[in-house]
Amino acid sequence: MTVLITGANRGIGLALAQHYAARGQTVLGTYRDKIPEAINGVEWAALDVTDTASHAALARQLTGRSIDLLICNAGVYLDRSHTRTQEQWQQTFAVNVTGVYLTIETLRSNIKSARGKIAIISSNMGSDTSAPGGSYMYRSSKAAVLNLGRNMAADFKQHGIAIGIYHPGWVQTDMGGAGADISVQESAKGLIARFEALDLSNTGCFESYDGEKLAY
Ligand SMILES: NC(=O)c1ccc[n+]([C@@H]2O[C@H](COP(=O)([O-])OP(=O)(O)OC[C@H]3O[C@@H](n4cnc5c(N)ncnc54)[C@H](OP(=O)(O)O)[C@@H]3O)[C@@H](O)[C@H]2O)c1
């Protein structure tokens, strides 16, 4: 099985890459600037999900390679301060929403040839049902990518491609912070079990890493 993970150079993406590599899967990890050192079993490819030239280069590099599982993991959280600039809004949506769409389009034929599947890492903060306030840019971008994933799931079903949307937990990464609930290992293990359970019968699902079904 070949797995491609965006934003695999650190955080949850890196843990997923390491877990799949340890299971002997072929792992393609994407990075923006710097390949992490001493990671065995991961083939690296450059991708800035906001950059169309970068997408075109990735498409060329992977021509003819089947992808069984695409994990759209790259994301940003820019709501740290109370000032939210237009640039921050644009960057948040460019990475968390448009970046996911462009990645799927870039790799569509690679996934199609494997009758593969797609996992989108959103967040429980993207739920419209639970809307406690705050983090406007992040919450609305994760809601948008949840909506995108569900609509693409409806369209891709006819091609035999399932798409699931996932919450990885509150995870100890640069984004989640040291005080978060769970380790990257626990998150990755749970997510991998969810991805294995994804097929056309539950395409469009919105689930947490631990199997909990989340409200849209
Ligand atoms: N941690 C949590 O508690 C939590 C909770 C819910 C959802 N999530 C979601 O889980 C995913 C992974 O989060 P994380 O905690 O592992 O975050 P992280 O540690 O901050 O890592 C983010 C990853 O995304 C990459 N990235 C950012 N902008 C990019 C771009 N323009 N093009 C390509 N890659 C880009 C980063 O690459 P660089 O190193 O180049 O910046 C990095 O590899 C994100 O989608 C996040 O929203 C996380």
User: For ligand 1, is residue 214 a contact (CB within 6 Å)?
Assistant: no
Which residue CA neighbors atom 5 of ligand 1 most closely? 170
User: For ligand 1, is residue 126 a contact (CB within 6 Å)?
Assistant: no
Q: State the Cα–Cα distance between residues 5 and 74, nearest whole angstrom.
A: 8
Q: Give the pTM.
A: 0.98
pLDDT of residue 38: 77
Type of residue found at 45: A
pLDDT of residue 37: 82
Q: Please say whether the beta carbons of 55 and 102 come within 8 A.
A: yes
What is the 29 CA–ligand 1 centroid distance (Å)? 13
Hey, is 200 helix, strand or coil? coil
Respond yes or no: is residue 138 known to be catalytic.
yes
- Which residues does the chain have with pLDDT short of 70? none
Which residue CA neighbors atom 6 of ligand 1 most closely? 123
What is the 50 CA–ligand 1 centroid distance (Å)? 13
What is the 65 CA–ligand 1 centroid distance (Å)? 25
pLDDT of residue 47: 98
pLDDT of residue 39: 82
Burial class (CB in 10 A: 0-12, 13-18, 19+), 142: buried
